[in-house]
Amino acid sequence: MSPNNGFRMFDADRSKALEALGRFVQGREKHYVCFCEANLLAHTTRNEQVLNALRRASLVMADGVGAKAYARLRGQSAVDRYPGPTFILDACEIGVEKGWRHFFYGGAPGVPERLARNLKQRFPGMQVAGTFSPPFTAVSDTVQRDIIGMIEATKPDLLWVGLGGPKQELWMAEHLGKIDVPVMLGVGAAFDFHSGKRPWAPPFIRKIGMEWAYRMLTGGKATFRRNLWCVSVVARLLLATWIRRYVFRQFPAKTKELLKGMEGKGTLGGPATGEMRGRLASDGVKP
């Protein structure tokens, strides 16, 4: 099994990630790329579909400090951050020379259009295949096929998906192989930042990995509540992962004794104990 509950985070430098993107476009096979931050990581602990979406991704980048810390605790010591809002700028820049065509799918009405306009001003010569702001409510299969047909007709190389996590990851996983686009990339908040709808954290805050706190304090009540939940979930996940790696591995006999005692006292039921045993086994511990 790969690290991080079955999905690997990209653990080479940023230039290698962009090289991989170039290979995906040139190969014309179907791929999608995820950017894992605290919200998405928290949902992987609650929703098997989200976890499976990350497992199927061709690349999973560590977007936030929580994802980076989790990957390193699980043995991927070379993982570093490459946030989606930064990646999209780099991809648009190198895409000018390569002639890549970009389609922007997501965001509130007007957002993908402003995003495309701002990026074209920033990167002269950039090719925009199209933009579309999808309905927030579910649509029929017929409407969805019409939307896909509209996207395919523009012949994009890169389909940037800005539906927010984990909705965009589930959407990409569902449409993998069903839409004729070489690469889908779920960049969420990048739509709002680069369209000017919401402020992007200042560079020094991004550099020290505190962008999550900036967004938490400036994004309104809904963002605050969501970030408070996901940060608390990820904090517990990091603590549990640290304990499994540095305590249970060092004292396997004590771990076995602890589990037996908990079973005997009824502290843990069978399924819960089985889950704990499975997690320990994935970390190389055999209690």
Reading the block at residue 234, the tokens are 């990820």
CA atoms within 13 A on the CB side of 205: 12
Of 159, 191, 216, at which residue does a domain stop?
216
Stretch 255-267: mean pLDDT, rounded?
Answer: 53
**Is residue 247 situated within a structural domain?**
no
| Pair 51, 131 in one domain | yes
Q: Is residue 238 part of a domain?
A: no
> Do 111 and 156 sit in the same domain of this protein?
yes
Structure tokens at 227: 């970030």
Q: Work out the percent of the chain whose per-residue pLDDT is above 70.
A: 84
Q: Which residues pair with 35 in a beta bridge?
A: 61
- Domain assignment present for residue 231? The answer is no
Residue 251 predicted with pLDDT over 90: no
The answer on 282 and 211 residing in a single domain is no
Whether omega before 166 lies within 30 degrees of 0, making that bond cis, reads yes
Same domain, 160 and 265: no
Task: Kindly state whether residues 200 and 276 are assigned to the same domain.
Answer: no
Residue 173 domain-assigned (yes or no): yes
* pLDDT of 177 above 70: yes
Do 92 and 195 share a domain, yes or no?
A: yes
Yes or no: say if 15 and 82 are a contact pair by the CB < 8 Å rule: no
Report yes or no on 224 lying in a domain: no
Domain boundary among 216, 234, 266: 216
How far is the C-alpha of 153 from the C-alpha of 283, rounded, in Å?
A: 47
Residue 184 phi, psi dihedral angles, 5° rounding: -105, 140
143-154 tens-digit pLDDT: 999 999 999 999
The answer to the question of residue 222 being in a domain is no
Is residue 188 domain-shared with residue 274, that is, in the same domain?
A: no
Region 216-236: mean pLDDT is 87
Q: Tell me the whole-structure pTM to 2 decimals.
A: 0.84
Based on the fold, state whether residues 116 and 184 are members of the same structural domain.
yes
Do residues 87 and 36 touch, judged by C-beta distance below 8 A? no
User: Is 103 part of a structural domain of the chain?
Assistant: yes
* 3-state SS, residue 247: helix
The answer as to whether 151 is a domain residue is yes
Q: Verify that 174 and 282 share a domain, yes or no.
A: no
Question: pLDDT tens digits, residue range 49-104?
Answer: 999 999 999 999 999 999 999 999 998 999 999 999 999 999 999 999 999 999 99
Hey, what amino acid is at 128?
Answer: V
* Same domain? 257 vs 208: no
Query: Looking at per-residue confidence, does 13 or 119 come out higher?
Result: 119
Average pLDDT, whole number, for the chain? 87
- Residues 165, 94, single domain; the answer is yes
Identify the domain boundary among 188, 216, 244: 216
Domain match, 153 and 210 both: yes
Structural domain containing residue 50: 3-216
Q: DSSP secondary-structure letter at 213? A: H
> How many domains, in total, are found in the chain?
2
How many residues in total does the chain contain? Answer: 287
- Alpha-carbon dihedral sign for residues 68, 73, 74, 80: positive
